[in-house]
Amino acid sequence: MVSDPNVDELVVADFGREWQTFDSSDVPPEELVRQFERYFSVFPWEDLPDAAVGFDAGCGSGRWARFVAPRVGRLHCIDASAGALDVARRVLAGSSNVDFHLASVSDLPLAPASMDFGYSLGVLHHVPHTSAAIASCVSRLRAGAPFLVYLYYALDGRPWWFRALFRGVSALRQRISRWPHRRKLAVTNVIAVLVYLPLGRAARSAERRGRTVDGWPLSFYRDRSLYTMRNDALDRFGTRLERRFTKEEVVEMLTDAGLVSVVVSTQAPYWCACGVKATLPASES
């Protein structure tokens, strides 16, 4: 994988350390369920065949695979980090229908047109060529099979002040992400406690008083635990490579890869999108 043009080895190493630090074991179960349901809100479970076989591209710690595995016949968990796969194996130790593969999204160890479904959540915005990674995933699907993806949004529709704030955060990320893991972890823990926690709890309090808080910074964390905030702060500030896409760009990439009937979730996190593989390549349909 060292020569794979769609793998950033430093990013892979960072995520391996992240999942070894945060394996989701301390997240309240009901919180994980809520997050899972949000990610999969546009996924057509009812259209999967009996004993469906599919894949999780960039499975990380296996926190979402634990909810998918009981619903399907077989699940292939794939990640470019050996450290992440070690965590996923532990998390999914009780699931006999899961196979684990050390591989990149550009070199998925699955036969073309063989899978009944696939998904990749929070991964493909951390590779050099997102559209190529999506195309690789879609190529493994049979005709009519769904593919779900979550990609960072490009602040679509946000006001100027929000975008200005984001530019400052991004500049800070560029610096922090290059620090050693322990230093990054210490600093992002502080950010979680001093920024994520108060803003998230303020949004929760305001919402309970009848205010609409969806546009508030970090309001997404109003019902999240401190553990999740710490994990996401490390993810947000500790990752060297981050790409963001508008809703239109997400739809275009999925369509160009051969998906049709693309649906994009209207709720946070943005953007969660799902389409089904066309019977014919997009250029012939």
Q: Where are the domains of the chain?
A: 9-154+244-277, 160-237
Residue labelled with tokens 């995933």:
137
**The pairing of beta strand 146-150 with beta strand 272-277:** antiparallel
**Would you give the distance in Å from CA 51 to the centre of its chain?**
24
Helix axes 82-91, 9-21, angle to 10 degrees: 30
Residue labelled with tokens 């239109």:
248
- Domain at 9-154+244-277: CATH code: 3.40.50.150
Question: What is the model's pTM?
Answer: 0.94
Task: Find all residues with CB under 8 Å of 240, minimum gap 6, and list them.
Answer: 8, 10, 11, 14, 177, 178
pLDDT tens digit at each of 285 positions of the chain: 446 888 999 999 999 999 999 999 999 999 999 999 999 999 999 999 999 999 999 999 999 999 999 999 999 999 999 999 999 999 999 999 999 999 999 999 999 999 999 999 999 999 999 999 999 999 999 999 999 999 999 999 899 999 999 999 999 999 999 999 999 999 999 999 999 999 999 999 999 999 999 889 999 999 999 999 999 999 999 999 999 999 999 999 999 999 999 999 999 999 999 999 998 655 544
**Order of strands across the sheet that contains 98-102:** 98-102, 74-79, 53-57, 117-121, 146-150, 272-277, 259-264
